[in-house]
Chains A and B, each alone.
Chain A
Amino acid sequence: MYPSTHRKLTLLIGLVALAVFAGGCKKKVAATPPAAPPVPTPQPTVTLNASPSTVNPGQTVTLSWSSTNATDLEIQPAVGKVAPQGSTPENPTQSTTYTITATGAGGSATASASVNVNAPSAPAAMAPTAQPSVSDLFDQNVKDAYYDLDKSDLREDARAALTKDAEFLRSYPQAKVSIEGHCDERGSTEYNLGLGQRRAEAAKNYLISLGIPADRMETTSWGKERPFCAEHDESCWQQNRRAHFVLSH
């Protein structure tokens, strides 16, 4: 199906087009009046912040940055290429200095931000009176919201669950969540991806109305790809129509 002759032909056409294009450009340059003295291209600038700057292992740091006159930005380690401005959560396991490199037509600039990660405390000493972890408390207290067929409206039981969830999130202001929308198997694959997203957004918007900052919640949808229950009946389908809360790490 992809005969090499076809590829060769494509290549040939590409080369011919390139040759024609190059030729055209040359002519244009010749016809242009002498170029004005070059305007100095502005040097890129960039800033990078890490908040908080000291964390315990497993806690999330938010890196935020902004830049001017830059087209390519990259944060190392771990993050990679990023937009001209924005923020991203990171979970350094050890003290880390993040460096952002901004490159533009006028050169490049860098900025750094350090995060200090506290050494893990000795678990043995704690063992007898171990406090439940945030993760355990999250699992015990945070409930999913359930929905009707083909709907993303919040029912009374969903509002009640989300109100409890908001209490937890207020008690643990560092905790961030991802809210994952799920659907039962009856809709189409493509429609369910959209519907799951609507469910997650509905849950998020309700939590925002209860005072939880939007930047602590990311939404996503699994459509019908990760069902909680595999039977083909309503009790199972109801299990699968939900906004599921996951603690972000």
Chain B
Amino acid sequence: MKAKMSKARRKGNHKRGPLVMRTFTWLSFSRLILASALALLSFALPSAAQDWFKTGTGLGVTKARLALPDTVTRSAFGPPLPKTFHDVVWADLDYSGILDMVSPSFYPVQAPGQPSELKAADWAAAPANAYMVAYGSLSMDASGLAFAGYLSDVHNPTAPLALQKIYRGAATDADVRRMAHQFADDIIGVLSGGQTGIAQTKIAYASARNGNKEIWVMDYDGANQQQLTHLKSIALTPRWSPDATRIAFTCFAPFWGVTSAQICIYSTASDRLIAFPRYRGTNGSPAWSPDGSEIAFMSSLNGDPEIYISDAGGAHLHRITFAAGVSTSPAWNPKTGKQLAFVSDRAGAPVLYLANSDGSNVEKLNLPDMGYVVDPAWSPNGQLLAFSWRRPSGNYDIYVMEIVSQQLVELTRDAGRNERPSWAPDGRHIVFESTRTGTRQIWSMLADGSQPHQLTFQGQNESPSWSSK
């Protein structure tokens, strides 16, 4: 255990500075630690029911302290746009998982609009104690809106600016949000060693708010919710293609005289459905290979629901699972492209299996008490598997397992049904569905379970899929 922890600490220091880790109590009270990606995160305050501890150097300075003064305006604005810009950047940075936002009550009175107006020493000193200050000015002219954005290391005032960029757009709420997301992503990119932020990513999901379940899409923060499909039947389980131009999902369509579940593909680039063959029986749960060239899905075309793989156009269909019972929910390891996780009830209750993408080497993923294990989702680095687990004693919760070490972390607890995890491309965030408010809604959280954010509020919403870019 000790060796593992110090190794993880070195890894953490090497990458991004100090490390904080969380464990929790099992029935067995054995401590299980998840290293690697989760180790880069910091964590919420401990709850009494859980056994927490932290490791790392210099607790309390685990994340860069960043100040974001109000947006300075260089033209006359109505109040909404500069405030929206500031609020969106703030929310993006605060939720990045790598920054400690300095409370505005500690800020010097003067908000800088450009580097010559930044009094670095005042920001570096108590009470602000900031390391970095992100700031800039918003102006408007005939060509539209422009934000001049800067990021300064206030402990090294003579060092070159960490970021200096002009962001342009129309004077609309949508464009201001986009510009703010771009600024936030650039800041996060600089401060996380080039790992791009996720503020411009999208989440696809199924929503029944207008009657039928249809496919919807929204910004990663829940803004800009839009209905994509109008099939007026049932649309389920959307999954983004790796290039984020298409969404494969389960649709219900007539075939052989009955309405059955089929694979549908929606192009977000051309705003229409793309042809995909229909098969007899029930078809569903499409999943893209990491290079986007193939789709794995469940089909009962030969009787039993098994996993098949075809190319992205539906041709070259071949079957990869051969076991009586249901095999479904394939998830392709995005790093190797050669391993699939899937769900099967071949041995009783549905649980997770791993296999090579040609169907060989099928291996059951063993958990301490099996229960009901579904919804596998690989982290972008291909090392962690998130899933939903209904343990014999409780409700569905989201867990993450590091496959190599089989170490587990529970991310949700005692809050309704929590299902269908999907990873953000930064590997630091997970989106999922939860019934904790009494209705089924889309939530996101940091990949350690902290900072849960409710993203949808209207009707019932399910099956989120986070776009890769």
| A190 B257 Cβ-Cβ under 8 A | no
| B281 A194 Cβ-Cβ under 8 A | no
B234 at the A/B interface (Cβ < 8 Å)? yes
Number of interface residues of B (CB under 8 A): 48
| A188 B388 Cβ-Cβ under 8 A | yes
B183 to chain A, nearest CB (A): 16
Residues of chain B in range 160-202 having any CB-CB distance to chain A below 8 Å = 200-202
| A225 B256 Cβ-Cβ under 8 A | no
| A1 B260 Cβ-Cβ under 8 A | no
Chain A 211-249 against B: per-residue CB contact (8 Å), 1 yes, 0 no? Answer: 000000011111101000000000000000000000010
- With contact pairs A1-B469, A201-B303 given, residues A189 and B237 touching in the complex (Cβ less than 8 Å): yes
| A187 B281 Cβ-Cβ under 8 A | no
Report chain B residues within 8 Å CB of A46: none
Question: Across the two chains, which residue of chain A brings its CB closest to B256?
Answer: A218
**Whole-angstrom distance between the alpha carbons of A23 and B244 in the complex?**
31
B343 at the A/B interface (Cβ < 8 Å)? yes
B328 at the A/B interface (Cβ < 8 Å)? yes
- With contact pairs A1-B200, A190-B328 given, residues A218 and B237 touching in the complex (Cβ less than 8 Å): no
- With contact pairs A1-B202, A190-B284, A194-B282 given, residues A218 and B257 touching in the complex (Cβ less than 8 Å): yes
Residues of chain A in range 71-91 having any CB-CB distance to chain B below 8 Å = 88-89
**Whole-angstrom distance between the alpha carbons of A240 and B345 in the complex?**
20
- With contact pairs A1-B200, A187-B372, A221-B261 given, residues A196 and B282 touching in the complex (Cβ less than 8 Å): yes
Chain B 417-452 against A: per-residue CB contact (8 Å), 1 yes, 0 no? Answer: 001100000000000000000000000000000000
Number of interface residues of A (CB under 8 A): 31
B394 to chain A, nearest CB (A): 12
**Whole-angstrom distance between the alpha carbons of A193 and B298 in the complex?**
9
**Whole-angstrom distance between the alpha carbons of A167 and B252 in the complex?**
31
| A194 B467 Cβ-Cβ under 8 A | no
| A194 B300 Cβ-Cβ under 8 A | yes
Question: Across the two chains, which residue of chain A brings its CB closest to B202?
Answer: A1
B45 at the A/B interface (Cβ < 8 Å)? no
| B269 A2 Cβ-Cβ under 8 A | yes
Residues of chain B in range 209-254 having any CB-CB distance to chain A below 8 Å = 213, 234, 236-237, 244-245, 250, 252
Q: Which of A188, A194, A225 contacts B213 (CB 8 A)?
A: A225
Report chain B residues within 8 Å CB of A1: 200-202, 244, 467, 469
| B236 A221 Cβ-Cβ under 8 A | no
Question: Across the two chains, which residue of chain B brings its CB closest to A179?
Answer: B258
Q: How many A-B residue pairs have CB under 8 A?
A: 114
| B345 A189 Cβ-Cβ under 8 A | no
| B372 A220 Cβ-Cβ under 8 A | no
B385 to chain A, nearest CB (A): 15
B41 to chain A, nearest CB (A): 25
Report chain B residues within 8 Å CB of A188: 329, 343, 350, 374-375, 388, 419-420
| B202 A194 Cβ-Cβ under 8 A | no
A172 at the A/B interface (Cβ < 8 Å)? no
Residues of chain B in range 300-340 having any CB-CB distance to chain A below 8 Å = 300, 303-305, 325-329
**Whole-angstrom distance between the alpha carbons of A195 and B324 in the complex?**
12
Question: Across the two chains, which residue of chain B brings its CB closest to A185?
Answer: B417
| A248 B257 Cβ-Cβ under 8 A | yes
Question: Across the two chains, which residue of chain A brings its CB closest to B305?
Answer: A194
A198 at the A/B interface (Cβ < 8 Å)? yes
B259 at the A/B interface (Cβ < 8 Å)? yes
**Whole-angstrom distance between the alpha carbons of A220 and B281 in the complex?**
5
Give B residues with C-beta under 8 Å from A: 200-202, 213, 234, 236-237, 244-245, 250, 252, 256-261, 268-269, 281-282, 284-285, 298, 300, 303-305, 325-329, 343, 345, 349-350, 372, 374-375, 388, 390, 419-420, 462-463, 467, 469
Complex A-B: 26 CB contacts under 8 Å: A1-B201, A1-B202, A150-B349, A150-B350, A186-B390, A187-B350, A188-B388, A189-B420, A189-B462, A190-B250, A190-B329, A190-B374, A191-B328, A193-B298, A194-B282, A197-B281, A197-B305, A197-B326, A198-B304, A198-B305, A198-B326, A201-B300, A221-B260, A221-B261, A225-B234, A248-B258
Give A residues with C-beta under 8 Å from B: 1-2, 7, 88-89, 150, 176, 178, 180-181, 186-191, 193-198, 201, 218-223, 225, 248
